[in-house]
Chains A and B, each alone.
Chain A
């Protein structure tokens, strides 16, 4: 197992290099320049700005300089916010996005697994149909509908929670629930089907035959089967979650990285876009690794070598 992990980590580096190079080229292909403004800039000033950021050098040289910067941990300067470096901007926004993602994930896992277990155990009863019906609803409702609905009820009718902004625990509730609900629904379905898949397996029947109490059978034996598909799903789920957080952050004015990315792409803020791409890529690659490791731990049939 350890060998596997080490090999994967080493494999990360060339993958990352390719991703960075590819993204760099693709971004620079897009038309437009970061210094367009409605007023039109005097040419001398434009030349000065291009020089400062190195945009007047050939592309290959720029790429190499960027790699050099990456090795030093320096992600470059933002063109839109000249007195902040990309490192600082990401450091500013990352905590909010991570907090939001964590809350959403906890909500998704907690509610989802719980609902899935109840549904599987009480299969074909009213509980089952009801919970799965709600889960279906959760999957079919986009976050930009759910968000405003929740805000309408909790913030504007009952003035209980703020409809936006950031600053305390109460600001995380609505965005977190909005972001996590889709995944909660999906995870509920996965848990349920996973558990039902193993309910006929020999080892479960064995546990029952041994006379173990029902909840032990459920929690210790069936749950593992239920968690397997959830764990597999977690990798793409978290990736999707980070992307979906853009919408939620926009609705609730959460100061995370999501809106940066969209704005940066629109403004051709090259270094900021690259910085976020690098960040996401590293996160996703590590996540996939973690998921594979977890999968191996959960399912004794899988062997990595």
Chain B
């Protein structure tokens, strides 16, 4: 391989591509009723109750419909299967009125389907990894933890009851539940021993006279969860505590209904009911139905004629190819084999300078924050001054401008500004002077340098680039050496959960456009809090905020909570994500929203591109009245 002829070749090649301002060809390679898109991985599951990752999630969004749906741009909840809803004064009770709707096989869709689905998610036997999403329902968490119901307690106190349990199950958690005249008991201790403990408790306390009362212990039945179908078209929901953002939760795929009739039929036939999502069995209630699924090759969706809003859906067919490498996705987009890079692929950073100049480039903020955990129990990170120094020594602007280059927003805040009207703290994003001063204050200097730290991240090109940049920054500004360790996904997650790291890269994608989704990550009993940091005052502030009905007061409390958080520096945020995509000019109705969802029910193909090359317009034409993002920030179109 001699350099010069090859170089010449490549230069010539470079000149002959994409001459008219778009990246690659703009001639559609298929008919006007379909779209070819891509997913980065085979979906692990397209059962709405079990999906927990991006690929599966995106498929489920388009196959199923829940009570509400997000506005394609602003993400506010709009009616979907639920026509309208009433919320009680205290914010604890929601009544959803469902419209007449059908499954894709013609069977009627009723409130009972929702009730069944939600109970199923909370049933530990289902193995749903997102079951904690429905812990907001009354007794949801208890059911998921196989609580036992001790009825007949009358006015006994917690202490008395706990004394009763002490000899048999000392680690059990007990909560009084007055409306049931009962106490809920969750056994604790080693996983392996819990079933035996439960049986023991049931035997001892099944029917026990105690202090003049008749106690009866039984397993908790799903009917006790705060969701009930009343008739075919009304769904009653009861929450544990008032949640201002509950309607956002009703958009989410965990709350989507599943076809009881199909699952029951499979069980009757003796087939494994988990296989109901296979193309030959699957039935859905959303804009599309699954026509074909070739494992690791593609998924084929077809328009669902039974969807209540089918008139609005313009595409007949969607083909999602499964392509693992981002470079390959980019190449296929260029060659016209894909119309969009899909919702899960990213544009490689090195190409961004070139791509940003193309007319089919789109970029918008994405509701996710990139940050580094600090393990606050691992010296020298146990000193808050050291943590703050490290955080201040990251030149975030440089990273965003020179490393990631996709228009991300440099930020040292945990909560991105604009979420549901949240103003944002705007903490300082780079202050090497102050950082050095803090280190000196903490007692470190040239004669006592900061010991080498280890930074762990999961294997990925982007994370490697950012980590290398941060490594260089910390050495340059603070003189501290960093050892980079890239762990592959599984090992990395385990390390994070086990607090086995000093500095660890992480990102949190918000589940709903409200500051709480970011703040709750740092709560003490949140399994995702890897920093070992907790604060009772922080918990109290969060709880207090959710008790507020008035949004202004609530946001003020959340801001206070974030200040508390920032003072302790359990993590160093680096930037707020943006989502950058390429999409062919003949695809309309697509807007990059704050969660980066591809809602294909709004897309359509512009037939003019079958005749000649037409310049694009910024028409959105998704049928909804235009609405700014929940962030209060308009999406930027292509240049």
Contacts and interface: CB of A to CB of B under 8 A. Distances in A.
- Are any A and B Cβ atoms less than 8 Å apart in their complex? yes
Contacts of B327: 148, 251
B328 A42 contact: no
B13 A33 contact: no
B144 interface: yes
B354 to A, nearest CB: 13
Contacts of B1: 137, 141
A250 interface: yes
Nearest to A167: B297
Given A45-B127, A45-B129, A36 B44 contact: no
A82 B44 CA distance: 7
B335 A82 contact: no
B274 A82 contact: yes
Interface string A1-40: 0000000000000000000000000000001111011111
B145 interface: yes
Contact of B324 (A44, A83, A250): A250
Contacts of A49: 127
B295 interface: yes
Interface string B38-56: 0000101100001011000
A89 B490 contact: no
Interface stretch (A102-110, A219-227, A252-260): A252-260
Given A44-B124, A89-B295, A93-B296, A164 B146 contact: no
Interface string B161-186: 00000000000000000000000000
A279 to B, nearest CB: 16
A164 B527 contact: no
Nearest to A34: B490
Given A252-B328, A253-B324, A163 B335 contact: yes
A280 interface: no
Interface in B110-150: 124-125, 127-132, 144-146
Interface stretch (A66-74, A150-158, A189-197, A291-299): A150-158
Contact of A84 (B10, B17, B295, B325): B295
A178 to B, nearest CB: 13
Given A42-B132, A81-B42, A267 B328 contact: no
Nearest to B500: A31
Contacts of B125: 48
Contact of B128 (A36, A38, A45): A45
B127 A48 contact: yes
Contacts of A253: 321-325, 328, 332
Nearest to B496: A38
Nearest to B130: A39
Interface string B477-493: 00000000000111101
B295 A39 contact: no
Contact of A267 (B45, B128, B274, B489): B489
A167 B300 CA distance: 14
A64 interface: no
Given A31-B491, A33-B494, A45-B124, A163 B192 contact: no
A37 B490 CA distance: 8
B295 A259 contact: no
A38 B323 CA distance: 22
Contacts, number: 149
Chain B, interface size: which category? Answer: 35 or more
A96 B13 CA distance: 31
A61 interface: no
Contacts of B488: 266
B295 A52 contact: no
A164 B296 contact: no
Contacts of B45: 81-83
**Taking each of A52, A82, A162, which has the highest tally of chain B beta carbons within 10 Å of its own beta carbon?**
A82
B335 A162 contact: yes
Chain A, interface size: which category? Answer: 35 or more
B490 A267 contact: yes
A41 interface: yes
B334 interface: yes
Contacts of A41: 129, 527
Nearest to A148: B327
Given A32-B490, A157-B17, A165-B337, A38 B328 contact: no
B369 to A, nearest CB: 14
Nearest to B325: A250
**Taking each of A82, A164, A252, which has the highest tally of chain B beta carbons within 10 Å of its own beta carbon?**
A164
A40 B42 CA distance: 21
A89 to B, nearest CB: 7
A266 B489 contact: yes
A203 interface: no
Contacts of A45: 124, 127-129, 131, 144
A39 B335 contact: no
Nearest to A253: B323
A157 B331 contact: no
B543 interface: no
B277 interface: yes
A214 interface: no
B295 A92 contact: yes
A253 B558 CA distance: 46
A89 B296 CA distance: 9
B617 interface: no
A166 B297 contact: yes
Contacts of B527: 39-41
Contacts of B274: 82-83
Interface in A214-252: 250-252
Contacts of A259: 324
Nearest to B529: A40
A40 to B, nearest CB: 3
A43 B490 contact: no
Contact of A159 (B25, B192, B194, B491): B25
Interface string B263-287: 0000000000011011000000000
Given A49-B127, A82-B274, A89-B295, A42 B144 contact: yes
B296 A92 contact: yes
A253 B298 CA distance: 11
Nearest to A155: B335
Query: Top 10 A-B pairs ranked by shortest CB distance?
Result: A40-B527, A163-B331, A44-B124, A36-B493, A32-B490, A253-B323, A255-B296, A164-B328, A92-B295, A255-B297
Interface of B: 1, 10, 13, 16-17, 24-25, 42, 44-45, 50, 52-53, 124-125, 127-132, 144-146, 191-192, 194, 274-275, 277-278, 294-297, 321-325, 327-328, 331-332, 334-337, 488-491, 493-494, 497, 527-528
25 contacts: A33-B490, A37-B53, A37-B493, A39-B52, A39-B130, A40-B527, A43-B145, A45-B124, A45-B131, A46-B191, A47-B194, A48-B124, A83-B278, A88-B295, A137-B1, A156-B17, A156-B331, A159-B336, A163-B331, A163-B335, A251-B325, A251-B328, A252-B328, A255-B322, A266-B490
Given A45-B128, A259-B324, 17 more contacts: A33-B494, A36-B490, A36-B493, A39-B130, A42-B132, A44-B194, A81-B44, A82-B44, A82-B50, A151-B331, A156-B13, A156-B24, A157-B16, A163-B328, A255-B294, A266-B490, A267-B489
Interface of A: 31-34, 36-49, 52, 56, 80-84, 88-89, 92-93, 137, 141, 148, 151-153, 155-157, 159, 162-167, 250-253, 255, 259-260, 266-268
